[in-house]
Amino acid sequence: MIRKTFASLLPLVLATVFSGCSPKPAATPSAQPEVSAEQKSVPPPPSTATSAPTTPAPAPEPPKPAGPTSIRIVAWNLEWFPGQKPEPTPDAEIMQMEAAKSAVGELNPDVLLLEEVRDWESADKLCAVNPELKVQVVSRFQPRPQNQVIASKYPVDSGWSESWQHDFTELPRGYVFAAVELPDHRYLLTYALHLKSNLGDFATSASMRQASAKQLLKHASEMLATYRKLGPCAIVIGGDMNTSLDDPKFAEDRTLGALIKAGYHWTHEGVPFAERTTIPGSNGFPDNCFDHIFTAGLGKPVAAVRAFPGISDHNPVVLEVDLTKADFQPKLEADAGISFLGQSTIVPPLPGQTPPTVATPIEATDVAALTAAVGKIATVKGRIQKVGNTGTQTIYFINFTGVPRGGFVAIVRKDNLDAVAGPLGGDLGAALNGKNVEITGQIVLFKDAPQIAVKEAKQIKLTE
């Protein structure tokens, strides 16, 4: 979603829906000042030169505007902003909005890359804390209101959003792109993106991320070739990539490695893991680094992670770039990154293929066993503490005793409520609260928390 109108000069992307503006014409020499009649009648003073008079020199061109010597880039997943939930209360929206505005005011970014923002209006309210910071591009990916944003203190020559092109049926979101133009006519080709989460089968999720990385490498290469005709360029890619170079679980996921193979600089390079934790551990899940900024043509800047507790489940990544050390001449090999992706050994399950089954029931409080069973069919047992629901009753939560918030939960979506609750008497709470049960289904991750979606009553077994 873009609220600026540009005149496109990008022939390589005509198939993409976007708006652009023509590059600014070069400054023209200023006109000579007018001469009055009185001045014309006054003879010039006698010349002492012996040579013939020379042609007057043309007026000098106005000086070009000086560019910045540094720039601050911030990438941040704001967790269902505003409100931190898909269906937040008005008070929760206000609370997160005010806290985030305070943080953005303190961070004072020149370029801001956001994920999980509801819409343009929400982004605009957030950026209003700094009048120089203007929202430039906002995606509108449906049906989940988790959109990407690029805001900048500098104007944008062109910008748009595009969904991931893929062979998968449920690959969400996409990327937003903006060609940020610095005052000295250098361009930051900027991407904000949010790659596939680890919800569902891990191999499928990793394959989706790798497919997105391939599309990203191709597009960035095309934009670099186009904008190099207009001026020096650098590339910035930032966002929540849902994969790590530290966690052994992601050892076979080549998404980040492909960017490095293509020649991009990983700005967390050399930073101790404890200082680049973007998702603090909780409920048995370890600390991790899922949020990254990659650059090309900007030297080797080093990112930092700032903690703003309570605003989001992610910490923002802050990158200070010394532009005096940047050559704006990226040396990239997109084909090398794409070839690296092609060597991946991760093979997603075929459509209709049944996930593997865990033979022994798992206690709802056993975090390690539940984590190991992600993507598999398992039976989870325990005593039900309470059945709750969202304010709009679109999702019902079956919560187990002894499981903290953010731990295992079974969910029943509104569309499946009658099929689940009917055979149990029509009232889930009355049927399950305080009872020992076993719930069977595929364990998936949502926001790093394991869960089972219950679609039929036969998935629930009362054991007393």
Residue 16: what pLDDT? 40
Give the number of domains in the chain: 2
Q: Which of 274, 307, 342 is the last residue of a domain?
A: 342
Label residue 200 left, alpha or beta by phi (over 0 means left) and psi (-120 to 50 means alpha): left
What totals of helices (H) and strands (E) does the chain contain, helices first? 9, 20
Q: Rounded to an integer, what distance in angstroms lies between the CA atom of residue 259 and that of residue 271?
A: 18
Burial of 125 (0-12, 13-18, 19+ CB in 10 A): middle
Whether residues 338 and 381 fall in one domain: no
Q: Rounded to an integer, what distance in angstroms lies between the CA atom of residue 178 and that of residue 20?
A: 10
Whether residues 160 and 279 fall in one domain: yes
Whether residues 308 and 191 fall in one domain: yes
Whether residues 373 and 293 fall in one domain: no
CATH code of the domain covering residue 383: 2.40.50.140
For residues 246 and 273, is the Cβ–Cβ distance under 8 A?
Answer: yes
The whole-number average pLDDT for the span 66-90 is 93
Sign for the CA dihedral angle at 270, 274, 280, 284 comes to positive
55 falls in which pLDDT band (50, 70, 90)? low
Residue 70: what pLDDT? 97
Of 12-21, 103-112, 454-463, minimum mean pLDDT range? 12-21
Whether residues 325 and 422 fall in one domain: no
Phi first, then psi, for residue 302 (nearest 5°) are: -115, 130
Residue 128: what pLDDT? 97
Whether residues 328 and 368 fall in one domain: no
Whether residues 297 and 426 fall in one domain: no
Cis amide leading into 145 (omega within 30):
no
Residue 91: what pLDDT? 96
Q: Rounded to an integer, what distance in angstroms lies between the CA atom of residue 41 and that of residue 270?
A: 74
Task: Give the model confidence (pLDDT) of 130-174 as tens digits.
Answer: 999 999 999 998 767 899 999 999 999 999 999 987 666 567 889
Q: Please give the structure tokens belonging to residue 41.
A: 């009648």
Establish if 20 belongs to a structural domain.
no
Q: Please give the structure tokens belonging to residue 119.
A: 């819409």
The pTM of the full predicted model, rounded to 2 decimals, is 0.70
Task: Give the model confidence (pLDDT) of 419-432 as tens digits.
Answer: 999 999 989 999 99
Whether residues 87 and 226 fall in one domain: yes
Whether residues 329 and 420 fall in one domain: no
CA 347 to chain centroid, in Å, comes to 25
Q: Rounded to an integer, what distance in angstroms lies between the CA atom of residue 463 and that of residue 255?
A: 44
Establish if 135 belongs to a structural domain.
yes
For residues 136 and 159, is the Cβ–Cβ distance under 8 A?
Answer: yes
Query: What residues have CB less than 8 Å from 85, skipping those under 6 apart?
Result: 92, 390
CA distances from 292 to 101, 120, 217, 316 (A): 22, 23, 16, 9
Task: Give the model confidence (pLDDT) of 164-189 as tens digits.
Answer: 876 665 678 899 999 999 999 999 99
Task: Give the model confidence (pLDDT) of 237-282 as tens digits.
Answer: 999 999 999 988 899 999 999 999 999 999 999 999 999 999 998 7
Whether residues 141 and 289 fall in one domain: yes
Which strand (E) or helix (H) includes residue 193?
strand 187-194
Residue 343: what pLDDT? 92
CATH code of the domain covering residue 334: 3.60.10.10
Residue 281: what pLDDT? 84
Establish if 305 belongs to a structural domain.
yes
Establish if 13 belongs to a structural domain.
no
Task: Give the model confidence (pLDDT) of 272-297 as tens digits.
Answer: 999 999 999 876 678 999 999 999 99
Range of the domain at 256: 70-342
Q: Rounded to an integer, what distance in angstroms lies between the CA atom of residue 321 and that of residue 304?
A: 12
SS3 458: helix
Whether residues 105 and 237 fall in one domain: yes
Query: What residues have CB less than 8 Å from 81, skipping those under 6 apart?
Result: 96, 97, 100, 114, 116, 117, 118, 122, 126, 312
Establish if 27 belongs to a structural domain.
no
Q: Is the pLDDT of residue 97 over 90?
A: yes
pLDDT above 90: percentage of residues in the chain: 66
For residues 217 and 259, is the Cβ–Cβ distance under 8 A?
Answer: yes
Establish if 30 belongs to a structural domain.
no
